[in-house]
Amino acid sequence: MSSYEIREALEADDGAILNLIRQSPQPGRVVLNFEREPSFHAGARVTCEQPDIWVAIDKKSGEYAALANIGRRALYVNGERHNIRYAHDLRVADRYRGTLVMVRMFRGLKTLVAPNEWMQTVILAENEKSLSTVGSGRAGLPNYFPCGDIVTHLVFAAPLVPIKHDLTIRRANAADLPSMQALLDDQGPKRQFFPCYDLKKVLEGNSYYKDIKIENYWLAWRGEVLEGVVGVWDQKSFKQTRLVQYPRGLSWLRHVYNAWTFLFGGMRLPAAGGVISYRTLHTVVTRGDQPNVLAALVEPIAHRARQARIAVVCAFFSNDPMREAMKKFRTQTLSSKHFLMSFDADPRADLDDRIPYVEVARL
């Protein structure tokens, strides 16, 4: 008999879940923790349109030993709309690492997944512990099939020389929604894994678009033609990245770096234990994949970020031609591995060769 109770999480579990997350940061040279204060369930409704949150509870102690969310969101796959699961927020409490709790968890989750259904998941490249378990073939665990590398860019400043272009760059308003939706409906299906967005829900205050306002989108017009859209999302009210620990002996470099950024611009680094301030780019779309249009859109956003001493975060698959836009900005990068998880056969053969898209705001 299992020593764990595996069950769907309730709103009443929020306190215990948040405590588990606080105690299970992501390992690496710089130790980070991706948090969901003050409500895990509220944050989960941003990551997935249909959260599916599960916890493993030690029957003897009552301690929450593990957490997983395999919720669904609507994405374009091979140009068609599908509700795809995303396996994320996989956490194990320290004292249960090395036990069978995650095997027990996945055995329970397997009963929820349809035959031949697959899930997306993303693992930081520096998270060697998690990557070492991928493909281990351990009984009860799903198979992880590598499906691209993701590069996350932290943009610190716009170019010193203004970017030349023939576009009109401005913020969106409610009257722009039909043109914005038409661009997304046209370009979205051309990308693998692009979200199926209904922008009317932004105005309705839908929980999947929490804290997004229409004026948070920036538009690029060439005459009467909308060439590009980029949204800017401040998620700190429900999602935080905490810098838990600097590399041993190097925490003093934070003061040097902050003095440098005060003079030349860039993100201010917090003390160990502090939260990083940033804005996330989302709904990154240009007509026909034009990096120059994206660069023109990001330029005013980066100027404002420098003034506020925060970073702008955006991400691309490594083979995305839109990454060329980032060469015009001062950035730092973070690498991740993207996998398709399945309890059955390799699903990659069913995907066509469309360039994949990653919505970093929903990771």
Map out the domains of the chain as residue ranges: 4-147, 154-338+347-362
Q: What is the DSSP string of 38-69?
A: S-HHHHHHHH-SB--EEEEEETTT--EEEEEE
Contact 304, 274 (CB under 8 A): no
Q: Rounded CA gap, 110 and 116, in Å?
A: 11
Q: Which residues on adjacent β-strands are paired with residue 56? A: 6, 66
Torsion of CA 205, 207, 209, 210, to 10 degrees: 80
Instruction: Report the percent of the chain where pLDDT is more than 90.
Output: 76
Total residues found in the chain within this entry: 363
Q: Long-range contact list for 243-251, CB < 8 A, 24+ apart?
A: 243/30, 243/31, 243/32, 243/269, 243/270, 243/272, 243/273, 243/274, 243/275, 243/276, 244/25, 244/31, 244/32, 244/33, 244/272, 244/273, 245/25, 245/30, 245/31, 245/272, 246/30, 246/272, 247/29, 247/30
Token match 């693992």: residue? 123
Alpha carbon separation from 71 to 14, 16, 128, 175, 302 (Å, rounded): 17, 20, 25, 33, 33
The structure's pTM equals: 0.92
CA 79 to chain centre: 22
Q: Which residues on adjacent β-strands are paired with residue 84? A: 73
Q: Rounded CA gap, 56 and 13, in Å?
A: 11
- The reply to whether 4-147 and 154-338+347-362 are identical in fold is yes
Range of weakest confidence among 153-162, 278-287, 318-327, 332-341: 153-162
Instruction: Specify the DSSP element, H or E, that contains 219.
Output: strand 217-222
Contact 334, 124 (CB under 8 A): yes
Contact 212, 246 (CB under 8 A): no
264, pLDDT greater than 60:
no
CATH entry, 154-338+347-362, from 3.40.50.2300, 3.40.50.620, 3.90.1150.10, 3.40.630.30: 3.40.630.30
Strand 80-86 relative to strand 118-124, pairing? parallel
Number of C-beta neighbours around residue 23 at 10 A = 13
Say what angle helices 40-47 and 14-22 make with each other, to 10 degrees.
80
Q: What is the DSSP string of 312-324?
A: EEEEEETT-GGGG
Q: What is the DSSP string of 251-290?
A: TTHHHHHHHHHHHH--PPPPPTTEEPPEEEEEEEEETT--
pLDDT at 263: 44
Instruction: Specify the DSSP element, H or E, that contains 90.
Output: strand 88-92
Question: What DSSP designation does 158 have?
Answer: -
Q: The domain 4-147 belongs to what CATH superfamily?
A: Gcn5-related N-acetyltransferase (GNAT) (3.40.630.30)
Task: Give the pLDDT band of residue 128 (cuts 50, 70, 90).
Answer: confident
Q: Name which of 87, 75, 143 is nearest 112 in CA terms.
A: 87
pLDDT at 233: 98
Mean pLDDT over 124-145 rounds to 77
pLDDT at 260: 45
Task: Give the pLDDT band of residue 14 (cuts 50, 70, 90).
Answer: very high
Strand 274-275 relative to strand 240-245, pairing? antiparallel
30, pLDDT greater than 80:
no
What are the pLDDT digits (tens) for 270-323? 688 888 889 999 999 999 999 999 999 999 999 998 888 888 999 999 999 999
What are the pLDDT digits (tens) for 43-98? 999 999 999 999 999 999 999 999 999 999 999 999 999 999 999 999 999 999 88
pLDDT at 341: 96
Q: Name which of 118, 43, 129, 39 is nearest 91 in CA terms.
A: 129
- Torsion sign (Cα): 304, 309, 315, 321: positive
Q: Rounded CA gap, 75 and 336, in Å?
A: 20
Q: Rounded CA gap, 282 and 134, in Å?
A: 29
